[in-house]
Amino acid sequence: MKYLNQLEPNQLIDNFLAHPPKHFCAWLSEDGVPAFSAKFDLLTTADDNFKNKIQKLPFFKKWQHWLQPNTCFIGTTVSEYTLLNHHINVEQLANNLKTTYAKQYPFLIVKDLPLASPLLNEKDNQYSQQLISSLKKRGFIEVEGQALAWVPINFTSIDDLFTRFSYSRRKNFRRKLKAREKLAIDILQSGDDCFFDDAILDKYYQLYLNVYQQSEVHFDLLTKPFFIQLLQNKAAQARIFTYHYNGELIGFNICFVVNNMLIDKYIGLVYPQARDLNLYYVSWFINLEYALQQGFSHYIAGWTDPEVKASLGASFTLTKHLVYIRNPLLRMALRSMIGHFENDKEKVA
């Protein structure tokens, strides 16, 4: 099935439903849209000042569990946007979501609805905008979502791209990219023979865990069965960029090619080597170089690190979350605090 707002291959969505992140449950709703449930820390996307104020309140550790309700999400954690079913009328979908899940869960979140995304067609964008309006009429609160980074491949070479940066930034990037000379770089595909070797699968999963564990946000911990399926599924046609230093795998980047776009999904790193060799920056320009060589139209770089990606020349498109809170007092409180949960828009403005 092809969903509205879908930028990823079907195999990745199916993999999420079959092997959801740790402690998550995932399913298809009766209307045929992916959904999942999980304990959700309501401070996950709060700004640091607000988070610190809450954590300093008396006896916070004793009552913080009240800030981690079992939450139903409409969407997935492997797709850039909420995946929707164009066979269902917008009003019917909005009504069914509230009727089905608002009574079961104290929090219901329709996550990552696109806002006039340049990466989608008019039909997808129009449906999502209509759904936002329909949900708001039913008491859902509109919250600014994350900023999705993307780069149009409208340059003729990396040197041509560099001309768009200031002199100091060009100089800094060229200095960081000198590390490329020390690396052995290859591009594999999912389903390659090496991904049926248990030791290699263990290595890749450990590198993914390294990145997850040092991340500021811990939400969706992908499982090893998910990763195995991801790397072994030839039909998904994932591109796996690998980086070796002195014969050791110190980093990888898993991307997909859909609709003539290179979509960056997962990264794994070994520390401190990856930092010492500026692998984040090297991999960014390797991906852009590959997208250019293949004649792709866009490079989609994901949600994390918007400030860094902005410095690297990325453009951004924002999303909306629509949140329904069963408790009317909490609903009123959230309306007054929405600004503390809308960080990305300011970072990429």
Give the pLDDT confidence of 149-186 residue by residue, as tens digits: 999 999 999 999 999 999 999 999 999 999 999 999 99
- DSSP of 107-166, one letter per residue? EEEEEEEESS-TTS-HHHHHHHHHHHHHHHHTTPEEEEEEEEEEEE---SSHHHHHTTS-
Question: Is pLDDT at 24 greater than 50 in this prediction?
Answer: yes
Q: Where are the domains of the chain?
A: 10-146+316-347, 154-296
Question: Is pLDDT at 345 greater than 90 in this prediction?
Answer: no
CATH fold of 154-296: Aminopeptidase (3.40.630)
Question: Is pLDDT at 237 greater than 80 in this prediction?
Answer: yes
pLDDT of residue 182: 96
pLDDT of residue 340: 46
**What rounded mean pLDDT belongs to the chain?**
89
Q: Is 292 left (phi over 0), alpha (psi -120 to 50) or beta?
A: alpha
Work out the pLDDT band at 337, boundaries 50, 70, 90.
low
Work out the pLDDT band at 62, boundaries 50, 70, 90.
low
pLDDT of residue 303: 87
Q: What is this structure's pTM?
A: 0.88
- Pairwise pLDDT comparison (80 vs 46), residue with the higher score: 80
Region 62-83: mean pLDDT is 82
Question: Is pLDDT at 93 greater than 50 in this prediction?
Answer: yes
